[in-house]
């Protein structure tokens, strides 16, 4: 994808300038030549494309301006997006993904103006775009991990049915946002993506490879040596440099791919702690993801001379095992495993975090969470589980209790909004994805409903005049809504057709459910079990089953799957983007997923504000 000057010179238009035979430069008899070359988006000298103009004398009289005949080179660059045109922080300006997204933003702005019919023109006839830059004081990105369109539709119906309606007419909180579009989720090297590549795209504005965190496609996955020079800057980092408060929340391990892509640079998403890394990577100086989180402030400062930031204000999620030494002495009071920690380097990162944030509060259970004073707490670090937090439907079974995603969202905003310069917050519902992988629609949908409640909590605590909220997914799952069930048929139930009270039967004479999976571990009938992961202890059971006597609406029911796999897979179709607040109108049409960064960056004016601090 890298453009080279050499290839661009080939095939350029040549203009011989007549009447220069006796030019002032005194080169008698030589013709002056001018060569113009169109530059593509992503060019080093013209990030938004443009024209390179080279001039010189045709010394060898071959009628071509050869490379060694060029005396002068100048550029006529296409108008860029001025908010990042000279950004020192965004080294990604030369990346084609980045440049193309910037152009799409400009296009989206002018399309919108045509729609609303204003189409203001500047003195020279150019379209004047609506002022968007910096209108969003606060930016919140909500990511439903694995929340494809079918998941949103089914969750909407389930929530509506739980409230006594037919369900189909119901709207989730983010269904009601005024703007929506689609995101193409593929990674640079993959048709169907993973969370690492997709979240890097959303957070840094460029697509990259599967499995890598905060680095571009020039990385070699798993090779520590290729990280240097390929690191990307994230929207969260720009907000931090700009002086905004910053936070991240996930129901997954806080070192898992999606949250990690907001703060870490790693050649492999699995390097969650030092014990997960190959020896060579440790020796070569790569840091594990948990260590990068705890030392976020000093690592960011070390990358930009003279920078002084105050670190992440709010971090909450699961994943304690990656922060604690592999020694029972360090177990949390509510530890479930005999040895909770995984770290083999003896470091207690929760203690390191506390030392880095003397004014900070570290919490690990519901009572600690409830006790947090959001008006006096400057830094909050919550690790509520050894691994991922519980599924929402299973949360009551947690040993010492843990907050819901909506409770964490409210608490985070109440801490973050103490900064009058605004905040950036990323909220991930990480376990929609895990439930699907386990083949449990029940857990996936109940976690999606809780995710929608978290969005509702954010809407209640913010003002859409100054807060941009974007809700999206990183990728989809092979989860379908099938058959011809009648209106209001229980979404978790068997298909019952219009005018009937009996389940419709398939060609094999057996009933089937509306919801199902193309692949995965398949059918389970675990009754009241609310933890989808219970399926992993059992032999896979793909293919058709007789569901005649099975209550498919029970929490422990896992849908049938066609192709047997140890884990149900992601799917490659587009996902929705929903938006409200300043700049939200830029969310429309079908977009490359990395557009999300550019919309947040423009609306929050993040890069420009960050550059001003350097």
Residues comprising the binding site for Zn(2+)? 145, 433, 437, 474-475, 570
Q: How far is the CB of 251 from Zn ion (least distance, A)?
A: 13
Which CA distances in Å does 330 have to 355, 421, 434? Answer: 17, 38, 28
CB of 568 to Zn ion, least distance (A): 9
CA angle 103, 109, 112 (to 5 degrees): 140
CB-CB contact of 560 with 520 (8 Å): no
Q: What is the nearest approach in angstroms of Zn ion to the Cβ of residue 85? A: 37
Q: Give the CA distances from residue 537 to residues 307, 438, 531, 568, in Å, rounded to whole numbers and listed in that order.
A: 50, 11, 12, 15
Give the residue with the Cβ less far from Zn ion, 128 or 149.
149
For residue 185, give the nearest of 144, 235, 237, 232 by alpha carbon.
Answer: 144
Q: Are 514 and 502 in contact (CB under 8 A)?
A: no
Q: Which residues are annotated as a binding site?
A: 145, 256, 258, 428, 433, 437, 474-475, 570
Instruction: Tell the smallest beta-carbon distance from residue 275 to Zn ion (Å).
Output: 22
Binding string, residues 429-468; x marks residues near Zn ion by CB under 5 A: ----x-----------------------------------
Site size with Zn ion, rule: CB under 5 A: 1
The structure tokens 């975090």 sit at: 353
Q: Which of 199, 204, 258, 193 is nearest to 231 (CA)?
A: 204
- Residues 580, 582, 588, CA angle at the centre, nearest 5°? 55
Q: In the bound complex, what is the minimum distance in angstroms from residue 577's beta carbon to Zn ion?
A: 19
Min separation Cβ 196 and Zn ion, Å: 10
Taking CB under 5 A as the binding criterion, the range among 309-317, 406-414, 425-433, 583-591 that sits at the site for Zn ion is 425-433
**Of 438 and 457, which CB lies nearer to Zn ion in the complex structure?**
438
Q: Which of residues 478-537 bind Zn ion (CB under 5 A)?
A: none
CB 486 within 8 A of CB 518: no
Contacts of 125 (CB under 8 A, 6+ apart): none
Closest distance of CB 189 from Zn ion, Å: 17
Q: How far apart are the first and last CA of the chain?
A: 30
| Nearer CB in complex with Zn ion: 100/405 | 405
Q: Rounded CA gap, 217 and 204, in Å? A: 12
| Shortest distance, position 268 Cβ to Zn ion, whole Å | 16
All residues at 6 or more sequence positions from 578 whose CB lies less than 8 Å from its CB, including other chains: 174, 175, 177, 179, 180, 470, 471, 472, 587
Nearer to Zn ion, 297 or 433 (CB): 433
Binding part of the chain for Zn ion, among 428-436, 486-494, 538-546, 603-611 by CB under 5 A, reads 428-436
133 and 83 Cβ atoms separated by less than 8 Å:
yes
Helix, strand, or coil here: 160?
A: helix
- Three-state secondary structure call for residue 138: strand
The nearer residue to Zn ion, 240 or 433, going by C-beta atoms, is: 433
197 vs 360, which CB is nearer to Zn ion?
Answer: 197
Nearer to Zn ion, 137 or 436 (CB): 436
Structure tokens at 149: 């369109």
Instruction: Pick the catalytic residue from 32, 195, 440, 476.
Output: 195
444 Cβ contact list (under 8 Å, min separation 6): 146, 151, 155, 432, 435, 436, 477, 479, 532
For the bound state, the minimum distance from the C-beta of residue 477 to Zn ion, rounded and expressed in Å, comes to 8
The reply to whether 273 sits near Zn ion by the rule CB under 5 A is no
Q: CA–CA separation, 3 vs 40, rounded Å?
A: 8
Residue appearing with tokens 């103009």 = 53
- For the chain, count helices (H), then strands (E): 16, 21
Residue with tokens 């001018």: 34
Distance CA 527, CA 554 (A): 6
Nearer CB in complex with Zn ion: 374/567: 567
| β strands within 157-263, DSSP E | 179-184, 245-253
- CB closer to Zn ion, 210 vs 363: 210
Which residue lies nearest Zn ion, judged by its C-beta? 433
What span, in angstroms and rounded, lies between the C-alpha atoms of 427 and 286? 27
Question: For residue 472, with 0-12 CB atoms within 10 Å meaning exposed, 13-18 middle and 19 or more buried, which class applies?
Answer: buried
Binding residues for Mg(2+): 145, 256, 258, 428
In whole angstroms, how close is the CB of 220 to Zn ion at the nearest point?
A: 23
Question: 149-162 and 441-461 helices cross at what angle (nearest 10)?
Answer: 80
CA dist., res. 173 & res. 315, Å (int): 24
Between CA 108 and CA 113 the distance in angstroms is 9
Would residue 603 show up in a list of annotated catalytic residues for this protein? no
Which sequence positions are flagged as catalytic? Answer: 195
Which residues bind to Zn ion, rule: CB under 5 A?
Answer: 433
């Amino acid at each position: 994808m890298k453009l080279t000057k050499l290839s661009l010179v080939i095939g350029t238009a040549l203009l011989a300038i007549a009447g220069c035979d006796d030019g002032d430069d005194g080169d008698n008899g030589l013709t002056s030549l001018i060569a113009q070359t169109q530059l593509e988006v992503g060019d080093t000298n013209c990030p938004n494309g443009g024209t390179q103009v080279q001039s010189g004398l045709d010394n060898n009289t071959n009628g071509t301006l050869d490379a060694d005949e060029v005396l002068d080179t100048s550029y006529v660059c296409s108008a860029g997006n001025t908010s990042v045109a000279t950004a020192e922080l965004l080294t990604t300006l030369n990346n084609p993904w980045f440049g193309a997204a910037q152009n799409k933003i400009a296009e989206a702005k002018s399309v919108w103006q045509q729609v609303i019919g204003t189409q203001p023109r500047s003195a020279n006839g150019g379209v004047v775009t609506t002022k968007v830059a910096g209108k969003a004081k606060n930016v919140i990105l909500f990511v439903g991990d694995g929340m494809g369109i079918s998941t949103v539709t089914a969750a909407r119906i389930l929530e509506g049915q739980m409230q006594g309606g037919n369900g189909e007419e119901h709207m989730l909180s983010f269904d009601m946002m005024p703007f929506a579009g689609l995101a193409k989720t593929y990674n640079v090297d993959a048709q169907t993506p993973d969370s690492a590549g997709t979240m890097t795209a959303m957070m840094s504005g460029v697509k990259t490879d599967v499995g890598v965190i905060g680095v571009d496609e020039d990385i070699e996955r798993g090779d520590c040596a290729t990280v240097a020079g390929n690191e990307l800057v994230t929207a969260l980092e720009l907000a931090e440099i700009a002086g905004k408060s910053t936070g991240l929340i996930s129901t997954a391990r806080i070192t898992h791919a999606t949250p990690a892509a907001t703060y870490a640079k790693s050649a492999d998403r699995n390097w969650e702690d030092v014990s997960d890394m190959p020896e060579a990577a440790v020796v070569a100086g790569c840091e594990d993801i948990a260590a990068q989180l705890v030392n976020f402030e000093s690592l960011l400062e070390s990358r930009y001379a003279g920078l002084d930031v105050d670190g992440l204000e709010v971090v909450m999620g699961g994943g304690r095992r990656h922060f604690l030494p592999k020694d029972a002495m360090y177990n949390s009071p509510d530890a479930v495993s005999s040895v909770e920690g995984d770290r083999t380097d003896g470091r207690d990162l929760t203690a390191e975090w506390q030392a880095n944030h003397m004014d900070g509060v570290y919490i690990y259970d519901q009572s600690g969470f409830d006790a947090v004073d959001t008006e006096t707490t400057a830094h909050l670090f919550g690790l509520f589980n050894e691994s991922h937090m519980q599924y929402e439907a299973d949360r009551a079974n947690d040993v010492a209790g843990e907050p819901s995603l909506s409770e964490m969202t409210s608490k985070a905003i109440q801490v973050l909004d103490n900064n009058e310069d605004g905040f950036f917050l990323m909220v991930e519902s990480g376990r929609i994805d895990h439930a699907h992988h386990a083949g449990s629609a029940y857990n996936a949908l109940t976690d999606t409903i809780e995710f929608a409640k978290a969005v509702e909590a954010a809407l209640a605590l913010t003002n859409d005049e100054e807060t941009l909220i974007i809700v999206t997914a990183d990728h989809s799952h092979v989860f379908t809504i099938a058959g011809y069930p009648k209106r209001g048929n229980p979404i978790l139930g068997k298909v019952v057709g219009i005018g009937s009270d009996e389940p419709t039967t398939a060609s094999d004479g057996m009933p089937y459910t509306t919801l199902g999976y193309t692949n995965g571990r398949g059918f389970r009938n675990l009754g009241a079990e609310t933890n989808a992961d219970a399926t992993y202890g059992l032999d896979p059971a793909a293919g058709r089953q007789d569901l005649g006597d099975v209550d498919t609406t029970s929490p422990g029911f896992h849908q049938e799957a066609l192709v047997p796999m140890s884990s149900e897979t992601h799917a490659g179709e587009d996902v929705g983007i929903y938006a409200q607040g300043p700049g939200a109108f830029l969310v429309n049409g079908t977009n490359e997923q990395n557009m999300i960064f550019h919309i947040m960056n423009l609306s929050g004016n993040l890069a420009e504000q960050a550059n001003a601090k350097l």
